[in-house]
């Protein structure tokens, strides 16, 4: 059960009072923390995660430009933490954020950083793993826009088998063996955390599309989706079947991607889903599905053929009603275009 930091466990049908933008508790018997953005708390969460690393730290992220995160990494180097940093070469181009780019070049010269080259798609992960047991993952890039403008999430787990999965992913990327051609099986795609079975999957080695379709097919009451991109036809067909079975489907899409010809905005509406385009001044950058206010799917993967088939991506799928309710309330905040400082935990989902 997930409970707010510093608050005693509630009975199953009571709603705990959560801190704005951050809450902590457990999935099964495993410590978990949820961060939501835009909010300064999420960047502080990254800094704290790095600051608490004592022996090893792997950092693999699509974009990074926050100076405070660079400072935290440098402090970890001084402490003697064994570091591996992986970012795409796109982080080394452009004229802005020169402070972090100087650090990137310094880490590269010291052998602490690899520029990723996934020739089949993007290295689109956003994760960290520390000391063989702590994992950070989600949709959040370590950037000013993702902190201050874009709707995002990050989730941390403390579990050694999950950490092994992310370490294996980092091993592949560090050795240049990632991408469609060189993908190897995930060590522990299903992990038992107490009484909760968690699926931890990676693209392209695991079949993310199949996993998403399976989870959607289990819905009996509601499906809430927050998506930067939703273009996958198999997922659309699965959603259409659930709508026909009487399941309520509500979808919130990013403005820019919804205008593209591959967007499923119109077909979803025609199938009976309630669809809204985000009016956030930033991007709807979540990649979240909440099923029956019980099961959560979240991670780095957009719901597109490239994300599910060729990019380096990761997702977690698990049942946890309190966390699912938190994501449902985040859906409502984004649906209503409310700012981050609105109490996310006091709203109901759209009916």
Among 151, 287, 312, 344, the active-site one is 287
Residue 291: strand pairing partners = 223, 295
Among 124, 265, 285, 344, the active-site one is 285
In the residue annotation, 287 being an active-site residue is answered as yes
Cα separation of 160 and 345, whole Å? 30
Among 74, 131, 171, 292, the active-site one is 292
In the residue annotation, 126 being an active-site residue is answered as no
Cα separation of 347 and 246, whole Å? 24
Torsion angle of C-alpha atoms 285, 340, 25, 192, degrees rounded to 10: -10
Reported in sequence order, the residue ranges of the chain that DSSP labels E, i.e. its strands, are 22-27, 30-37, 56-61, 82-88, 113-116, 126-130, 134-138, 152-158, 190-193, 196-203, 222-227, 248-253, 274-277, 287-291, 295-299, 313-319
Per this entry, what is the length of the chain?
Answer: 351
In the residue annotation, 286 being an active-site residue is answered as no
Work out the angle at residue 61's Cα, subtended by the Cα atoms of residues 58 and 62, and round it to the nearest 5 degrees: 160
Cα separation of 237 and 252, whole Å? 18
Distance of CA 305 to the CA centre of its chain: 18
The closest alpha carbon to 348, from 224, 195, 212, belongs to 224
154, 136 Cβ separation under 8 angstroms: yes
218, burial (CB in 10 Å: exposed 0-12, middle 13-18, buried 19+): exposed
Active-site residue set: 285, 287, 292
């Amino acid at each position: 059960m997930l409970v707010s930091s510093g608050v005693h466990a509630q009975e199953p049908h009571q709603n705990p009072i959560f801190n704005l933008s951050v809450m902590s508790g457990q999935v099964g018997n495993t410590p978990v923390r949820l961060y939501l953005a835009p909010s300064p708390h999420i960047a502080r969460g990254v800094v704290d995660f790095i600051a608490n690393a004592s022996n090893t730290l792997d950092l693999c992220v699509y974009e990074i430009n926050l100076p405070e995160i660079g400072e935290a990494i440098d402090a970890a180097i001084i402490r003697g933490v064994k570091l591996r940093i992986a970012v795409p070469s796109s982080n080394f181009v452009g004229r802005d954020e020169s402070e972090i780019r100087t650090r990137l070049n310094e880490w590269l010269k010291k052998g602490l950083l690899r520029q990723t080259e996934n020739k089949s798609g993007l290295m689109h992960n956003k994760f960290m793993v520390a000391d063989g047991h702590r994992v950070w993952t989600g949709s959040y890039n370590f950037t000013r826009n993702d902190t201050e403008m874009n709707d995002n999430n990050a989730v941390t787990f403390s579990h050694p088998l999950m950490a092994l999965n992310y370490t294996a992913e980092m091993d592949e990327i560090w050795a240049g063996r990632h991408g469609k051609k060189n993908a190897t099986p995930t060590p522990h795609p299903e992990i038992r955390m107490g009484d909760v079975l968690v699926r931890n999957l990676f693209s392209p080695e695991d079949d993310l599309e199949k996993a998403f379709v399976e989870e959607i097919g289990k819905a009996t009451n509601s499906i809430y989706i927050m998506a930067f991109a939703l273009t996958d036809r198999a997922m659309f067909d699965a959603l259409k079947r659930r709508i026909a079975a009487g399941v309520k489907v509500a979808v919130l899409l990013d403005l820019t991607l919804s205008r593209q010809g591959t967007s499923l905005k119109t077909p979803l509406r025609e199938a009976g889903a309630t669809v809204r385009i985000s009016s956030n001044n930033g991007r709807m950058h979540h990649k979240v599905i909440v099923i029956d206010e019980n099961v959560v799917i979240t991670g780095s993967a957009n719901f597109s053929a490239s994300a599910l088939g060729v990019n380096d991506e990761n997702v977690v799928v698990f049942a946890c009603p309190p966390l699912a309710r938190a994501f449902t309330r985040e859906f409502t905040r984004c649906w209503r275009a409310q700012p981050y400082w609105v109490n996310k935990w006091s709203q109901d989902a759209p009916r």
